[in-house]
A and B are shown apart, each in its own frame.
Chain A
Amino acid sequence: MHFAFTDEQAMIAETVRGFFAESATSQATRAAMAADGLDRATWAALGSELGLAGIAIPEAHGGAGLGMVEFAILAEAAGAQVAALPLLGLAMAGRALERGGTAEQQAEWLPQLASGAVIAAVAGADSVTEADGGLTGSFAFVPHGALADVFILGAGDRAWLVRAGAPGLTVTSHTTMDQTRPYATLALAGTPAARLADGSAALAGAREAGWICLAAEALGGAQAALDRTVAYARERVQFGRPIGSFQAYKHRLADMMIEIEQARSAVYWAACALDEGSDEAALALHAAKCFAADTFFMCAGNMIQLHGGIGFTWEHDAHLYFKRARAIQTMLGSGEWHREAVAKMILGEAA
């Protein structure tokens, strides 16, 4: 038992923090927001120069072969910058293919995911129809869906791989509150779709990786919201004192730190439990997703409030955090849904 980063993990953390801070600047993110929601330079550098897009993809498929802890370290650092990157699709598709893809699908797509050469998106639908290798149905709220080269789509315990540009596939992008991760809607009409070998394993893997990705992003975002507010509290003077000297202000900062420390435990507990195959992993994932998301929203809201008027402007980055936090709260299950999942584990069904 040693619940702290190894030297290697600490080194990765330092590297990725530096990388995102330098590359995914506010300027780069805002340029992406004004366009299609992708910071192409950062994405390219992550895949090629840094070679870390495949951090959690097996070595046999061109990745670094590390685990969810290392992926969480990466996602935390990206989240700290609200980087406009399709990390969620990368995490989810990578895990889905690894867990449930056919050997051919793995061989074709995992190396391309690991190098950052392709963008992936994952989505689910309540019901679809499948006939003659063609899929018909619609998939809403697909993150970075308009940019994806490949989709992993799920319904029930079946999963399919669909290529962008496939016949009968219509992708409609939406103007989205969080412009760093715009949603798209997919409409499929008899679109060629290749079944994954084990749909339920693929979708379970995708969900696990997705929850870790979002929770880690939320952790990074929450910490950044606190750090930036702390910096402002030092420099902003009112009534002849730095505003950080007022107890009402200090106590809100303290409340942010209290939640963030718990969120940090939650994210790395869940990631590590998943890597170790612990029987706590399921509970840990639900806990991490809802706790980190709520923490991020609380911190981002406080970031606006504690900055006063400037925090409400488009010019200030506070709204990037606030909108990202709001989006994360709902994606892949609301807080209520995750808590009910935990309640079921300890209390059984409600009715």
Chain B
Amino acid sequence: MRLGFTPEEELFRAECADWLNGQMAGEFRDIRGITKLTAAPERRKEWEQRLGEARWSCIGWPEQWGGRGASLAQQVIFAEEYARAGVPGRVNHIGIELAGPTILTFGTDEQKRRFLPDIAAGKTIFCQGFSEPNAGSDLASVRTKGRLEGGQWVVNGQKIWTSLAHISDWIFVVTRTEEGSQGPKGLTFLMMPLDQPGIEVRGITQINGDAEFNETFFTDATCPADSLIGAVGDGWRIAMGLLAFERGVSTLGQQMGFRNELDEIIAAARANGAAKNPLIRQRIAQAEIGLRLMRYGALRMLSNTDHSKIDGAALTYKIQWATWRRNLGELAMDVLGQAGELTEGADYEWGVLPNLFLYSRADTIYGGTNQIQRNLIAERGLGMPREPRGQA
């Protein structure tokens, strides 16, 4: 057990920080500090490309595909320095963290050649087509249909909560390709270009007034016959494999974003005197402790090489951070007081902390609600009987 980094790793840290700080002080200074995922999309696509050119886009990938084959420690360091430099979140998060690793693991050589270099270069932005109006927590009940016809896939149906679909190039879609199949059987994982007449993307305005999520409608949308990952009917296995990548190193970058939010709260509490309130002090300390434990939980999960047993740190990670962040949003408003309920300008546009308060209500819902997480923990982690399934 060792927490410290080696001198070589510290050198690597300095290299990361130099490059990132240079970019944020230079050509990309206009996007430094942006927290909203929907802000300045064109500039952020350019940023994705800059990362790709300099081979900082996906350092954990093999060199062959645009990565650096970076060690775990190096990936941890890069994620930390990335957020420390105030670099905004990746608009191609889904491509880098989910689509890419899925193609690397389950794709054919041809698919790797077709997609991975462009994802790494920031030229192909991916979004995720999993949820449907009637398949939220119960993902296996998707109804969007896919059929092979005239040498291509034809897709009909609707996806929802497709984050950033309006600025993406490709979408991966879980479709029901076996007529009459139910649940996890008969599903196929397809990759489709978004720019086509059969696909329509409509924004969903959220409680914070922003529209990061979308409804995506498929009406005889098409993609070539070889656009599937894995085999026909293999979609559930691929989708579950993909979700496992969500708990990777990117969680550490996400945590650095949380660090920035907590620091804003601390600054606000100092400025308005809330930092003298003993109850607020307790809650800030608790938030600080929770954030540190999240980091060490993630490091435990990443350091774990024994995959024969259920990894408790990994299994509990989603509900842990989601709940922590929702509490953080409430703490933010208690620190701000009524001032937190006023926008700065005339538009319904929120600063970081009120936005955190509103947005964090989504954290305990998307990617598996807290209730579903507890089921999963009790069933997979503790071996309790599964919830009974109703008849479809």
Residues of A participating in the B interface, judged by any CB pair closer than 8 Å: 1-6, 9, 69, 226, 230, 233-234, 241-242, 244-245, 247, 249-251, 253-255, 257-258, 260-262, 264-266, 268-269, 272-273, 276, 278, 280, 283-284, 286-287, 290-291, 336, 339-340, 342-343, 346-348, 350-351
Contacts and interface: CB of A to CB of B under 8 A. Distances in A.
B293 A276 contact: no
Contacts of B373: 254
Interface in B235-293: 266, 269-270, 275-276, 278, 281-282, 284-286, 288-290, 292-293
Contacts of B304: 4
B382 interface: yes
Contacts of B275: 347-348, 350
A3 B3 contact: yes
Contact of A336 (B4, B282, B289, B305): B282
B312 to A, nearest CB: 5
25 contacts: A1-B73, A2-B1, A2-B2, A3-B1, A4-B300, A4-B303, A230-B382, A234-B384, A244-B378, A254-B375, A260-B312, A261-B313, A265-B293, A268-B300, A269-B3, A272-B1, A284-B292, A287-B289, A336-B282, A339-B289, A343-B281, A347-B284, A348-B275, A350-B275, A350-B281
Q: Interface residues of B: mostly helix, strand, loop or mixed? A: helix
Contacts of A9: 1
Given A247-B375, A250-B379, A346-B285, 4 more contacts: A251-B371, A257-B315, A272-B2, A346-B266
Nearest to B373: A254
B377 interface: yes
Nearest to A242: B385
Contacts of B284: 343, 346-347
Interface in B304-320: 304-305, 312-313, 315-316, 319-320
Interface of B: 1-5, 9, 72-73, 76, 266, 269-270, 275-276, 278, 281-282, 284-286, 288-290, 292-293, 296-297, 299-300, 302-305, 312-313, 315-316, 319-320, 371, 373-375, 377-379, 381-385, 387
A2 B76 CA distance: 11
B5 A266 contact: no
A322 B108 CA distance: 56
B281 A347 contact: yes
Nearest to A271: B1
B315 to A, nearest CB: 8
Contacts of B288: 283, 342, 346
Contacts of B76: 1
Nearest to A339: B285
Given A1-B73, A9-B1, A350 B278 contact: yes
A89 B199 CA distance: 70
Given A3-B1, A3-B303, A251 B378 contact: yes
Nearest to A241: B385
Nearest to B277: A350
A187 to B, nearest CB: 35
A56 B328 CA distance: 38
B300 A1 contact: no
A347 to B, nearest CB: 5
Contacts of B375: 247, 250-251, 254
Contacts of B2: 1-3, 272, 276
B292 A283 contact: yes
B289 A257 contact: no
Contacts of B320: 258, 261-262
B100 to A, nearest CB: 24
Contact of B5 (A1, A269, A284, A347): A1
A262 B300 CA distance: 10
Contacts of A226: 382
A346 B266 CA distance: 8
Given A1-B3, A278-B3, A343-B285, A257 B293 contact: no
Contact of A257 (B278, B281, B312): B312
Nearest 7 pairs of A and B residues by beta carbon: A250-B378, A254-B374, A245-B385, A254-B377, A339-B285, A343-B281, A342-B285
A276 B3 contact: yes
Nearest to B320: A258
**Residue of A258, A260, A269 ringed by the most chain B CB atoms within 10 A:** A258
B382 A254 contact: yes
A348 B269 CA distance: 12
A273 B374 contact: no
B282 A69 contact: no
Contacts of B319: 254, 258
A266 B293 contact: yes
B10 to A, nearest CB: 11
Nearest to B74: A1
A3 B297 CA distance: 9
Contacts of A269: 3, 292-293, 296
Nearest to A290: B289
A262 B297 contact: yes
A299 to B, nearest CB: 13
B292 A287 contact: yes
A54 B50 CA distance: 56
B384 A250 contact: yes
A258 B316 contact: yes
Nearest to B378: A250
A5 B378 contact: no
Contact of A291 (B270, B278, B289, B302): B289
A336 B285 CA distance: 10
A291 B287 CA distance: 12
B384 A291 contact: no
A81 B132 CA distance: 48
A182 B281 CA distance: 34
Contacts of A5: 1
A340 B281 contact: yes
Contacts of B316: 257-258, 261-262
Contacts of B297: 261-262, 265
A350 B276 contact: yes
A247 B372 CA distance: 11
B381 A254 contact: yes
A242 B383 CA distance: 12
A265 B313 contact: yes
A179 to B, nearest CB: 30
Contacts of A266: 289, 293, 296
A266 B374 CA distance: 22
Contacts of A264: 300, 312-313
**Residue of B269, B289, B300 ringed by the most chain A CB atoms within 10 A:** B289
Contact of A254 (B292, B378, B387): B378
